[in-house]
Amino acid sequence: MELSNQTILWLYKTMLTTRCFEERLIEEASKGKTRGSIHPSVGQEAVPAGVCAHLAMSDYISSTHRGHGHAIAKGVDVNEMMAEIFGKSTGICKGKGGSVHIADFSKGMLGTIGIVGAGVPLAVGAALSSTLRQNDSVSIAFFGDGAANQGILHESMNLASIWKLPVVFVCENNQYADATPVEYATSATNISDRAAGYNMPGWTIDGMNVLAVYDAAGVAIGRARAGQGPSLLECKTYRYYGHFFGDNPLTYRLKEEQEKYREQDPILQFENDMQLSYPKCFASRKRIREEVTTSIEKAIEFAYSSPYGPITDLYDDVYVNYAGLETL
Amino acid sequence: MTVTNTRQIQYKDALIESLTQEMQRDPTVFVMGEDIAGGAGRAHLGITEAWGGPFGLTKGLIQQFGPSRVRDTPISEGGFLGTAIGAALTGFRPVIDLMYMDFVGVCFDQLISNAAKIRYMMGGQAKVPLTIFTRFGAGTGNAAQHSSIYYGILSHIPGLKVVVPSDPYTLKGLLLSAIRDDDPVIVCNDKKLIKMSGAVPDHPYTLPIGESRIPLEGQDLTLVGIGYTTQLCLEAAQTLQSLGVKPEVVDLLSLSPLDKETVLQSVRKTNRLVIVDEDTPRCGIATDIAAIVVDEAFDFLDAPIKRVTAPHTPVPYSKPLEDHYLPSSEKIVRITKELLNRL
Ligand SMILES: Cc1ncc(C[n+]2csc(CCOP(=O)(O)OP(=O)(O)O)c2C)c(N)n1
Ligand SMILES: [Mg+2]
C-alpha cells in the first residue's frame, strides 16, 4: 500500500519519540529520579505507531504497564508524561500515577493499567459507548502475551463478539511475561488462533515491521469502523531490555536471540524502507531526529523544574463529591 | 517462645528456608505462582531458574524439588488459585505465591466463595489446607495498583485465616503453621520487611496462628502493631522511653483468628491504646480492635482509642504524597503525646 509522506513521517517520528523518551527515562531511572517500576518498550515501537496511525482523537485506546509507546502514539504530551513519572504536579495525572498509570482522557487515552489484563474490558466498554452513540469511533485494547492468559481477556473477547463491538484486540507478543516464555505459558501456537473461539478474525503479523502493522491494523480497524465487529491482531515483537528497569533478561533468554531481534530493529528497518520507497522522507530523517531529541530534553527539563503537588493532593479525587475520611 | 539460636538471616531467606523444610517433610506440599522459578520450559537451553520468584523469595526451590512441585503458572490468578483449592480438597497442601496482594482482586471469588466456604457449605466433609503468601504495602513508589493492603477485607471473611509476620522469626513460625493448618491461611508479607535481618533458629518450628506477642512490656500505654508497623511501634517506643514514657507493644501477628485477649489484657494494664496499621481505616483491623476494646474493656480506658492508619485514599505515586500517606514513628509519637497530655 502506498502511504502519504505525512503518514510515513508520523510513523517515523512516533517510533523515534518513544525510543528517545524511554532511553532518556532509563538514564534518569539509573540516577534514581523515578520510583517504582519502569517497563521499557524499546524494540516494540512499531506496534503502537502502526496501530494508532489509523486513529483520530475521538477513538480510544487502553493500555498496559508497558504503555509509554501507546500514550505517545495517541498524542499524549511528552512533557506531561515525563513530569508524571517524576511524580510532579504538572504530570498528566498530577504525579499520582507514575509510569504505570498514564492517561489522557482528552485524547482518548483511557490509561495504562497495572493489573495484567485489566485494561482490556475498558476498551470494550469504550466501544460499547460508540455503539450506543451510533458514531464510528473505534477502540483498541493493547495487551501482552502474558495477559492473553487472564480470564478477563476471554470474557472481553466473547462480549465484544456477541455485541459486534468496534474494538480491536492488539496483542503485543514480545514473547515473555516477566521471565516466563510465551511457549511455556500459552496453549495455542499463535495467540491469534484463539480468535476462532470467539468467532472473530485473528491474524499474526511481524510486529517489528511498522508497515506490516500499519496494513494489518488498517484492515482490523476498517472492519470495526464499518460495523463488522471485533478482531484480534497478534503482533510478534520483542523488548530489548528486561521486564522492568533493573531486570537482567539474560537470566531467561539467550544473547543470540536478543541480537537476532536487534538486527530487525523497527526503526532501522523503517529507515531502510524509507530509503527505498520514500526518499523524500528519508532525506528529512536527520531533522526529525534532532526535533525529537530536543523535545525529549525539554520534557526532562520540564519534569525537573516542575514542583511536587501539595500534600492536600493526597485527598483529592478519591471521589467526585465526597471528601473521604482523613486520618492524620 | 525464646529464640535460642542467634543465627541472623534475612526475611526472604527465612521464607525460602521454611518452604524448603516443609517440602522436605511433607510430600503433599507444592508451590505454584508466577515466575517462582522463571524461564520455565527452557531447561534445554540451560535455563532453570531465571528469577527464583519476585524479590527472590523462592530462590533455589526448583533446583531442589523440580518443576513438578515448583510450578510456574501463566498470569491466571483466578485459574491457578482455584486449581490449588481443588488440589487441597483432594489431599494436597498447595502453597500459592500471589505476587502482590493487589492481585487478590483477580482471584477474589475463588478465595471468598470457594476456599472460605466449601467446608462449611458441605457440612464439614472437606477441608482446604491451602496457604497463600503475598507481598503488600506502600513506600516503594509502586502506586495505587501495586501497593494495596487487603488483609482487612480478607479478615472480614469467615473461613479464611490471615497472618502478618513482623520479622524473619515470626515469618518462619507462622508460615510453617500456615502450611500445616487445615484451613486456608493467607500469609501477608510487607515489602518493607523483605530485606530485614533477624535471629531465626535453623530447625523447623511453628508459632500458633491466633496468638499475638508482646515484644516490649510497659505500663503507660499500649501500642498495637501489624507486621512492619510493629517495627514502627518499637521505633516510636524508643523515642517515648527517652521522654520517660513506657509503652507496651503488642505485635498482632494474627488478624484472623484475632488474639483479642492479649490486647485486652494489655489495655487493662496501661489504660490507653494506639493501634497502628498501614491499611485504610474504614472497616479495617484497627477499627475492629477499637470496637472490641470499647465493648470489653471500656471501664479500663483513661483516654480515647487512637488509630494511626493510612488515610481513606488509594496509594499515590509521588514521593511526598506517599510519605505522607504512610504511618510513621513520628506520627505515633505525636499521637501518643497528645493522648498523654489530655491528663
Ligand atoms: C493480575 C496481575 N498479575 C501479575 C502482575 C505482575 N506482572 C506485571 S507485568 C507482568 C508480565 C506481563 O506480561 P505480558 O502481558 O506479556 O506483558 P509485557 O510485560 O511482556 O509487556 C506481570 C506478571 C500484574 N501486574 N497483574
Ligand atoms: Mg509479554
| pTM for the structure as a whole | 0.97
Respond yes or no: is residue B44 known to be catalytic.
no
Closest CA in chain B for residue A144: B75
Number of domain units in chain A? 1
Q: How many CA atoms lie within 13 A of B197 on its CB side?
A: 4
CA B167 to chain centre: 10
**In this predicted structure, what is the pLDDT of residue B6?**
78
Query: The domain that contains A170 carries what CATH number?
Result: 3.40.50.970
Residue type, B151: Y
Residue A327 in this model has a pLDDT that exceeds 70: no
- The topology under which CATH files domain B213-340 is Rossmann fold (3.40.50)
A48 in B contact zone (CB under 8 Å) = no
Across B117-138, average pLDDT:
98
**In this predicted structure, what is the pLDDT of residue A300?**
98
Task: Please state the ipTM of this predicted complex.
Answer: 0.96
Residue type, B299: D
pLDDT, tens digit (0-9, with 9 covering 90-100), for B293-305 = 999 999 999 999 9
Could you tell me the distance, in angstroms and rounded to a whole number, from the CA of residue A178 to the centre of ligand 1? Answer: 6
Measured between CA atoms, how close is A318 to chain B, in angstroms? 6
**A328 band by pLDDT with thresholds 50, 70 and 90:** very low
State the residue for C-alpha cell 531467606.
B13
Across B127-142, average pLDDT:
98
**A88 band by pLDDT with thresholds 50, 70 and 90:** very high
Across B256-279, average pLDDT:
98
Instruction: Determine which one of B17, B22, B49, B77 is catalytic.
Output: B77
pLDDT, tens digit (0-9, with 9 covering 90-100), for B163-195 = 999 999 999 999 999 999 999 999 999 999 999
Ligand 1: residue whose CA is nearest its atom 22: A178
From the CA of A143, give the closest atom in ligand 1. Answer: 15
Across A77-99, average pLDDT:
98
Across A149-157, average pLDDT:
98
CA nearest to B331, candidates B252, B253, B233: B233
Ligand 1: residue whose CA is nearest its atom 17: A144
**In this predicted structure, what is the pLDDT of residue A326?**
57
Residue B2 in this model has a pLDDT that exceeds 70: no
**3-state SS assignment for residue B8:** strand
**In this predicted structure, what is the pLDDT of residue A240?**
98
Closest CA in chain A for residue B53: A179
**In this predicted structure, what is the pLDDT of residue B341?**
85
Could you tell me the distance, in angstroms and rounded to a whole number, from the CA of residue B307 to the centre of ligand 1? Answer: 35
State the residue for C-alpha cell 471528601.
A323
Respond yes or no: is residue B146 known to be catalytic.
yes
From the CA of A118, which ligand is nearest? 1
**A321 band by pLDDT with thresholds 50, 70 and 90:** confident
Among B55, B274, B317, B338, most A C-beta atoms within 10 A, so best to mutate, is B317
> CA B97 to CA A13: how far, in whole Å?
42
> CA A279 to CA A265: how far, in whole Å?
20
Across A82-89, average pLDDT:
98
Please, what is the average pLDDT of chain B? 97
Across A141-165, average pLDDT:
98
A309 in B contact zone (CB under 8 Å) = yes
Measured between CA atoms, how close is B212 to chain A, in angstroms? 26
Q: What strands lie across the sheet with B29-33, from one edge to the other?
A: B70-72, B29-33, B93-100, B131-136, B185-190, B161-163, B254-256
- The topology under which CATH files domain B8-199 is Rossmann fold (3.40.50)
Across A300-312, average pLDDT:
97
**In this predicted structure, what is the pLDDT of residue A78?**
98
The three state secondary structure string of chain A is: CCCCHHHHHHHHHHHHHHHHHHHHHHHHHHCCCCCCCCCCCCCCCHHHHHHHCCCCCCCEEEECCCCHHHHHHCCCCHHHHHHHHCCCCCCCCCCCCCCCCCCEHHHCEEEECCCCCCCHHHHHHHHHHHHHHCCCCCEEEEEECCHHHCHHHHHHHHHHHHCCCCEEEEEEECCEECCEEHHHHCCCCCHHHHHHHHCCCEEEEECCCHHHHHHHHHHHHHHHHCCCCCEEEEEECCCCCCCCCCCCHHHCCCHHHHHHHHHCCHHHHHHHHHHHHCHHHHHCHHHHHHHHHHHHHHHHHHHHHCCCCCHHHHHCCCCCCCCCCCCC
Range of the domain at A202: 5-325
Task: Give first-to-last CA distance, chain B, whole Å.
Answer: 37
pLDDT, tens digit (0-9, with 9 covering 90-100), for A266-294 = 999 999 999 999 999 999 999 999 999 99
Residue B3 in this model has a pLDDT that exceeds 70: no
**In this predicted structure, what is the pLDDT of residue A304?**
98
**In this predicted structure, what is the pLDDT of residue B14?**
98
Q: Do B281 and A325 touch (CB under 8 A)?
A: yes
- Domains of chain B, residue spans: 8-199, 213-340
Share of chain A above pLDDT 70, in %: 98
Exposed/middle/buried for residue A106 (C-beta within 10 Å: 0-12, 13-18, 19+) = exposed
Share of chain B above pLDDT 70, in %: 98
Residue A138 in this model has a pLDDT that exceeds 80: yes
Q: Which of B55, B73, B99 to mutate to test the pocket of ligand 1 (most atoms within 8 A of CB)?
A: B99
